[in-house]
Amino acid sequence: MGHKVRVGIVGMGQGGTTIYKTLRGIEQIEIITVCDLRNTPGMEMAKSDGILTCLTLDEVLTIEALDVIIETTGVPNVQAQLQLVPKTAATIIDSQAANLMMLIIEDKEKLADIRRYRGELDAILNSVQEAIEVASIDGRIKYVNPSFSRVTSIPAGQRIGKNIFEESPNGALARSLRTHEPVFAHRALVGGTDVEVISNSAPIVVDGKMEGAVVVFQPLTDIYKLMEQVRTSNQVINDLQTRINQISTSSYTFDDLIGSHPEFENALNFARQAAKSNSTILITGESGTGKELFAHAIHGASLRWDKPFIKVNCAAIPETLLESEFFGHEKGAFTGALKTKLGKMELANGGTIFLDEIGDMNPYLQAKLLRVLQEMEFERVGGTQTIKVDVRVIAATNRNLLEMVKYGEFREDLYYRLNVLELRLPPLRKHKEDIPAYVQSLIVKFNRKFGKHVTGLTSQAEEMLMNYHWPGNIREIQNVLERAMVSVEDEIITHKHILNLINPQSILEKETRDEDIIPIEELEKQMISKALKRYGNTVEGKKEAANALRISLATLYNKLKVMS
């Protein structure tokens, strides 16, 4: 390689600086000096590059062996002085020639800029998921990005050069070209394909003149996929929410149980003992005697207190769902089983499952439950994997299971499995002495709820409550008190507030005490109304009532006719 061309630049304004910047990147050129009487940014730059800087042309001219001096000042004096430099010493490029040089350089720089933009744009267009297509104002397709080909399966080569008015005359792009307006959320098939897309298009305007248009679109399937993902995520959130709701660590303790009558005390003591063991407990008692409350308290006092307490109301779940409620199901186990779902048994793992209304469980499930109680293992509906759990079972019922066993309505083996420890809760009428304490606690509770200041009840009202039969037990006394508290205006509840709230028929029933002898006919009436109260006045209820009374349904209807 020959020797480098040694250059000096006179005038380091904008032009000189541009020339400087360009020349310094060229390997065959060595910039020896730059010159300007002002300290321009170009001078600064050269200084920091380690180039000799001069303030006057004279200084430049003292430097020997410059091959070329580029003059960019355009100042006549300077030009004149330079003309005197002998051609053999250095070639002078004057300001005109330098201007020309600058124009060429600037153009080259612009081109480089454009190339850079183009590179960036290509990278963007190639990386977006959306399909992009550009057409010129006459409809000629000029560009499609790779996503366009992915979405439509049309290779770029088969699309570019064609006319959009022929290919997709009703698409958003053609429409924007026709109307000169943007188009939003246009749903259509991409021309010649069955790909449904949703597109947005806009005119391309250069210097106020529309030169073409661009369309951006996504296949609906992509959007559906996204929606599907959103739906699945929502499902997960919902599942977790229900799980959180289901997993209630029990909220009641033995301290919440009011009552000091010996019969109630016995139940309490028994329950406290039972809480310490892991044995299955069967809680029996009429409706509203506090079976659920006891179950909570037992769990709360057991070693499992910090683990889940899961309640299943065996009567409330439709029979078809009961099995999946209990054992969960695998995805696709049946129509509608879109996701794998954990059953209550799995949710209760480590804790306690409370099987309320166990007497209402269907025979098929009774058999399944028996196996779970024996082995503590089961399979999800539609699943093959055996799942092992450690769950304490507390069951409750207001029905006479032993009797149901006798009549084949409840599995005997299951009954004995459940009835390891039996906690019998006395009906309220058996521990009436506890009524004043209940009432007092309810008054406190409802004062808070209704913002009242009731202090108690008259002795006549209290006597009325004591004499009542309370078929609905504590739940009923709660309802009666709540309604009385709504109507009371003073601080004392009187018998008038209560009179209409309790069922006089029950007082009548109460009056025939156990030891009284009453006419058989009367007893029959009482038994029939008791049975109907228990099973309900519906056709189904009457069937069950007839069953329990051991008479045919027809006989029951006859007797009811006579009674009314």
Please say which residue, 139 or 472, places its beta carbon nearer to ligand ATP.
Answer: 472
Q: Whole-angstrom Cα distance, residue 89 to residue 498? A: 127
Checking phi first, is residue 32 left (phi over 0); if not, alpha (psi -120 to 50) or beta? alpha
E strand map for 82-139 = 91-93, 131-136
Q: Which of 475, 510, 533, 559 binds ligand ATP (CB under 6 A)?
A: 475
Judged by CB under 6 A, the residue of 71, 292, 330, 476 near ligand ATP is: 292
471 binds ligand ATP (CB under 6 A): no
| 474 contacts ligand ATP (rule: CB under 6 A) | yes
Closest distance to ligand ATP from the beta carbon of 480 (Å): 12
User: Given candidates 218, 250, 289, 366, which one binds ligand ATP under the rule CB under 6 A?
Assistant: 289
Options 53, 193, 287, 494; binder of ligand ATP; rule CB under 6 A: 287
| Binders of ligand ATP in range 384-413 (CB under 6 A) | 398
Least distance CB 503 / ligand ATP (angstroms): 17
Among 258, 370, 373, 420, binds ligand ATP (CB under 6 A): 258
Q: Closest CB to ligand ATP among 348 and 396?
A: 396
Looking up tokens 């006597």 gives 463
Per CB under 6 A, the segment of 181-189, 251-259, 347-355, 520-528 that binds ligand ATP is 251-259
* Nearest one of 211, 210, 167, 208 to 189, comparing CA atoms: 167
Residues 411-440 that bind ligand ATP (CB under 6 A): none
Segment interacting with ligand ATP (CB under 6 A) among 188-196, 232-240, 288-296, 315-323 = 288-296
Nearest one of 270, 277, 530 to 426, comparing CA atoms: 270
Residue 298 touches ligand ATP, criterion: CB under 6 A = no
Give 439-447 contacts, CB < 8 A, sequence gap 24+: 439/465, 439/477, 439/481, 441/258, 442/477, 442/478, 442/481, 442/482, 443/481, 443/485, 443/493, 446/481, 446/482, 446/485, 447/485
Task: Decide if residue 285 touches ligand ATP (CB under 6 A).
Answer: yes
* Contact with ligand ATP (CB under 6 A) among 215, 293, 394, 465: 293
Q: What's the CA gap between 292 and 78, in Å, rounded? A: 108
Instruction: Decide if residue 91 touches ligand ATP (CB under 6 A).
Output: no
CB 420 within 8 A of CB 443: no
Residues facing residue 69 across a β-bridge: 8, 92
For ligand ATP, the closer of residues 198 and 258 by Cβ is 258
Q: Which is nearer to ligand ATP, 212 or 288 (CB)?
A: 288
Give the DSSP letter of residue 28: T
For ligand ATP, the closer CB: 11 or 259:
259
Binder of ligand ATP out of 159, 186, 291, 341 (CB under 6 A): 291
Q: Which region, judged by CB under 6 A, interacts with ligand ATP, from 76-84, 143-151, 282-290, 536-544?
A: 282-290
Gap between the terminal Cα atoms of the chain: 128
Phi-psi region of 336 (alpha: psi -120 to 50; beta: other; left: phi over 0): left
**Nearest one of 473, 475, 464 to 429, comparing CA atoms:** 473
How is residue 192 written in tokens?
Answer: 């010649």
Cβ of residue 327: shortest distance to ligand ATP, in angstroms? 24
Beta-carbon contacts of 149 under 8 Å, excluding residues fewer than 6 positions away, are 155, 156, 159
Tell me the number of residues near ligand ATP by CB under 6 A: 16
Residue nearest to ligand ATP (CB): 290
Kindly state whether residue 358 participates in binding ligand ATP, applying the rule CB under 6 A.
no
Residue 426 CA to its chain's centroid (Å): 45
H helical segments located in 425-472: 435-450, 459-467
What is the closest distance, in whole angstroms, from the C-beta atom of residue 252 to ligand ATP in the complex? 7
Nearest-approach distance from CB 474 to ligand ATP, in angstroms: 4
| Contact stretch for ligand ATP (CB under 6 A) within 104-112, 381-389, 455-463, 471-479 | 471-479
250 binds ligand ATP (CB under 6 A): no
Nearest approach, Cβ of 410 to ligand ATP (angstroms)?
17
Write out the two tokens for 536. 């309900």
- Which amino acid is present at 137? I
Structure token pair of residue 82: 């330079």
Minimum gap (Å) between residue 295 Cβ and ligand ATP: 8
Q: Which of 11, 259, 351, 426 touches ligand ATP (CB under 6 A)?
A: 259
Alpha carbon of residue 214 to chain centroid: 37
Please give the residue ranges that form the binding site for ligand ATP (CB under 6 A): 257-259, 285, 287-293, 356, 398, 474-475, 478
